[in-house]
Amino acid sequence: MFDFIIQGFGVALTPLNLGLAFSGALLGTLFGALPGIGPINGIAILMPLAYTLGLPAESALILLAGIYTGAEYGGRMSSILLNVPGDASAVMTTLDGYPLAKRGLAGPALGISAISSFVGASIAILGLTLFAPLLATVAVQFGPAELFTMMVFAFASMSVMMGKDPVKTALGAILGVLIGTVGVDSGTGIQRFTFDIPDLYDGIDFVVLIIGMFAISEILLMLESRLQHGKTGELPVIGRVFVTMKEILYCKGAMLRSSLIGFLIGVLPGTGASVAGAVAYTTEKRISDKDNTFGTGDMRGLSAPEAANNASAAGSFVPMLTLGIPGSGTTAVLLGALMLYNITPGPMMFSEHPKVAGGLIASLYIGNIVLLLLNLPLAGFFARVLTIPRWALVPGIVILSFVGVYQLHSDMGAIYLMLGIGILGYLLRKLNFSLATIVLGFVLGGLMEENLRRALAISGGDTNILWQSGISQGLWAASLLLILVPFLLSRLSKRKAQTA
Amino acid sequence: MPSTKRLAAALVAPLAIATVSLLSLPVMAADRSECIAPAKPGGGYDLTCRLAANGLLETGVIDSPMMVTYMPGGIGAVAYNHVIGVRSDDPNLIVAASTGAAVNLALGKFGKFTADDVRWVGALGVDYGAVVVNADSPWQTLDELMDDLKKHPSEIPFGAGGTIGSQDWMKAALIAKSIDVSPRKLRYVSFEGGGEALAALLGNHIKVYTGDLSELQSQLSSGKIRVLAALSEERVPGAFADIPTATEQGYDVTWPIWRGYYMGKDVSDADYNTWVERLKLLSEKPEFAKIREARGLFPIQKFGPDFDQYVKAQITDFKTLAQEVGLTQ
pLDDT value at residue A135: 84
Å from A185 to nearest chain B CA?
8
Cα A338 to Cα A344: distance, rounded to the nearest angstrom: 7
Instruction: Write out the DSSP string of A251-264.
Output: THHHHHHHHHHHHH
Is the pLDDT confidence value at A457 over 60? yes
Q: Is the pLDDT of residue A368 over 70?
A: yes
pLDDT computed for residue B21 by the predictor = 44
Cα-based distances in Å from A72 to A37, A81, B176? 12, 16, 45
pLDDT at A54: 76
Fold of B33-126+257-324: D-Maltodextrin-Binding Protein; domain 2 (3.40.190)
Count of structural domains within chain A: 1
**Average pLDDT for A144-149:** 92
Pick the more confident residue, A389 or A280. A280
pLDDT tens-place string over residues A469-487: 999 999 999 999 888 887 7
Give the alpha-carbon dihedral of A274, A279, A281, A287, to 10 degrees: -170
In this predicted structure, the answer to whether residue A390 has a pLDDT above a threshold of 80 is: no
Per-position DSSP letters for A226-278, written without gaps between them: HHHHS---PPP--S--SPPHHHHHHTHHHHHHHHHHHHHHHHSTT--HHHHHH
Cross-chain Cβ contact A403/B19 below 8 Å: yes
Contact criterion met (CB < 8 Å) for A34 and B18: yes
pLDDT(A37) > 80: no
Question: Which one of A58-67, A279-288, B12-21, B242-251 scores highest in mean pLDDT?
Answer: B242-251
Cross-chain Cβ contact A347/B193 below 8 Å:
no
CB contact under 8 A, B7 and A387: yes
User: A435-458: buried (b, 16+ CB within 10 Å) or exposed (e) per residue?
Assistant: bbbbbbbbbbbbbbbbbbbbbbbb
> What is the per-residue pLDDT across A247-272, written as a single tens digit (0 to 9) for each?
999 999 999 999 999 999 888 876 77
pLDDT value at residue A232: 55
Output the average pLDDT for chain A. 84
> What's the mean pLDDT in A100-111?
88
Most A CBs within 10 Å: which of B51, B69, B78, B167, as the mutation test of the A interface? B78
Identify from B202, B259, B297, B325 which residue to disrupt to test chain A contact, counting A C-beta atoms within 10 A and taking the largest count: B202
How close, in Å, is residue A361 to chain B by CA atoms?
20
Contact B8/A403, CB-based, under 8 Å? no
Q: Do A411 and B71 touch (CB under 8 A)?
A: yes
Rounded to the nearest angstrom, the minimum Cα separation between A325 and chain B is 5
The CA distance from B158 to B321, in Å, is: 19
Using one digit for the tens of pLDDT, what is the confidence trace for A171-206? 998 999 999 999 888 777 788 888 888 778 878 888
Q: Which CATH superfamily is domain B128-254 in?
A: Periplasmic binding protein-like II (3.40.190.10)
Q: Which residues of chain B have pLDDT under 70?
A: 1-31, 42, 329
> B191 CB contacts (<8 Å, ≥6 apart)?
A454, B159, B160, B161, B197, B200
Instruction: Pick the more confident residue, B324 or A455.
Output: A455
Partner residue facing A144 (CB), from B68, B202, B205? B205
Distance from CA of A71 to the nearest CA of B (A): 14
Per the CB < 8 Å rule, is B200 touching A144?
Answer: yes
Decide if pLDDT at A9 tops 50. yes
Domain that holds residue A58: 3-499
Residue A292 has phi, psi (to 5 degrees) of 60, 45
pLDDT at A304: 95
Residue A389, C-beta contacts closer than 8 angstroms, at least 6 positions apart: A232, A234
**pLDDT score of B14:** 41
Q: Which of A306-320, A483-497, B95-109 has the lowest mean pLDDT?
A: A483-497
Does B206 contact A458 at a Cβ distance shorter than 8 Å? yes
Rounded mean pLDDT of A403-413?
Answer: 79
Q: Tell me which residue in A30, A270, A409 faces B196 most closely, judged by beta carbons.
A: A270
Using a CB-CB cut-off of 8 Å, the residues of chain A touching B42 are 40, 43-44, 329, 332-333, 336
Residue spans of the domains in chain B: they are 33-126+257-324, 128-254
3-state secondary structure (DSSP) of residue B212: strand
Share of chain A above pLDDT 70, in %: 92
Cα–Cα distance for residue pair A349/A347, rounded to 1 Å? 6
